[in-house]
């Protein structure tokens, strides 16, 4: 993709962050842990661990990059910007006046949506059109931008913007955030898992490089599809 198209992608990412289309709290946190931005101290996260008796609260400095505090689906990390995240384990041991280590995805892969820490996989979305607003996904190993699947809906860097726009999908994280299953096998890039035949982009099976398509009535399909993304949250 040429420099002009890259600039368009980056401008769209900034637009989404500023307009709230990528909200800070669309994903439910782990039951025993809450992470939020400190409204009084810029660049600081507040960690609360409800499993502790009494309640344990830590104030952790992460620096000016922190603009959101969005827990990942696996409950092991917090996304703090369009490409940066910190581990919950780092927050649990943070020290006063010492910045927490920040982890980042590649600078050329849109905005970060989810991370699976155990399996070193991340999900990011690239905005490819504003009218209508549409996206393509990168699902890759942390430290890489090489997609783990080659399905419709994947961002392909050797294609022109016009070619990419043919495969874009809608996304509203305020309704449901894109996610990676706890076992690292399945991805629902567009939000709420949908395994119907008519769904697009649907749910992706990373191991088989195919869409997950279930049969039966809608209630059965929805129930079975959601189960792919259920697991006890470990920290």
Report domain extents, the chain: 3-173
- For residues 35 and 70, give the distance between their C-alpha atoms in angstroms, rounded to a whole number: 8
Q: Does the reported pTM lie above 0.85?
A: no
pLDDT tier at 229 (50, 70, 90 boundaries)? very high
> Does position 7 have pLDDT exceeding 90, yes or no?
no
User: How big is the chain, counted in residues?
Assistant: 235
Number of CB atoms found within 10 A of residue 15's CB? 14
Joined together, the tokens standing for residue 216 give: 């039966």
Average pLDDT over residues 96-120: 94
pLDDT for 235 equals 38
Nearest in space to 173 (alpha carbons), one of 37, 23, 14 = 23
> Does position 55 have pLDDT exceeding 90, yes or no?
no
**Range name among 40-49, 113-122, 202-211 with the lowest pLDDT average:** 40-49
Most confident of 48-57, 58-67, 192-201: 192-201
Beta bridge partners of 210: 205
**Range name among 24-28, 127-131, 202-206 with the lowest pLDDT average:** 24-28
The secondary structure of residue 166, as a DSSP letter, is: T
Beta bridge partners of 188: 179
C-alpha distances out from residue 29 to 16, 106, 220, 221, Å: 22, 25, 27, 26
What is the DSSP pairing of strand 204-205 with strand 186-188? Answer: antiparallel
- For residues 152 and 168, give the distance between their C-alpha atoms in angstroms, rounded to a whole number: 9
Q: Where are the beta strands (DSSP E) in 41-96?
A: 44-49, 56-61, 70-71, 77-79, 84-87
The secondary structure of residue 144, as a DSSP letter, is: -
- For residues 218 and 235, give the distance between their C-alpha atoms in angstroms, rounded to a whole number: 33
C-alpha distances out from residue 32 to 28, 29, 48, 132, Å: 11, 8, 8, 39
pLDDT for 52 equals 64
The secondary structure of residue 195, as a DSSP letter, is: -
The secondary structure of residue 101, as a DSSP letter, is: P
pLDDT tier at 21 (50, 70, 90 boundaries)? very low
- For residues 120 and 123, give the distance between their C-alpha atoms in angstroms, rounded to a whole number: 11
- For residues 212 and 214, give the distance between their C-alpha atoms in angstroms, rounded to a whole number: 7
Q: SS3 for 220?
A: helix
**How would you label 114-143 residue by residue, b for 16+ Cβ within 10 Å and e otherwise?**
bbbbebebbbbbbbbeeeebbbbbbbbebe
């Amino acid at each position: 993709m040429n420099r002009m198209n890259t600039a368009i992608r980056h401008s769209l990412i900034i637009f989404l962050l500023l307009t709230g289309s990528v909200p800070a709290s669309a994903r439910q946190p782990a039951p025993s842990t809450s992470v939020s931005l400190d409204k009084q101290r810029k660049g600081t996260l507040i960690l609360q661990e409800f499993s502790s008796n009494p309640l344990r609260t830590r104030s952790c400095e992460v620096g000016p990059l922190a603009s959101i505090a969005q827990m990942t689906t696996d409950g092991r990390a917090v996304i703090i910007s369009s490409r940066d995240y910190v581990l919950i384990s780092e927050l649990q041991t943070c020290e006063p006046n010492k910045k927490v280590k920040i982890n980042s995805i590649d600078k050329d892969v849109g905005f970060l949506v989810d991370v699976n820490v155990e399996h070193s996989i991340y999900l990011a979305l690239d905005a490819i059109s504003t009218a209508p607003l549409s996206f393509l996904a990168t699902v890759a190993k942390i430290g890489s931008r090489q997609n783990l699947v080659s399905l419709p809906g994947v961002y392909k860097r050797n294609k022109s913007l016009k070619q990419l726009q043919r495969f874009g999908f809608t996304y509203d994280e305020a309704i449901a955030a894109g996610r990676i299953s706890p076992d690292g096998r399945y991805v629902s890039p567009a939000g709420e898992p949908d395994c119907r035949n008519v769904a697009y982009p649907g749910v992706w099976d990373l191991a088989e490089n195919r869409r997950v398509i279930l049969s039966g009535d809608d209630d059965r399909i929805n129930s079975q599809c959601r189960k792919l993304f259920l697991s006890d949250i470990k920290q």
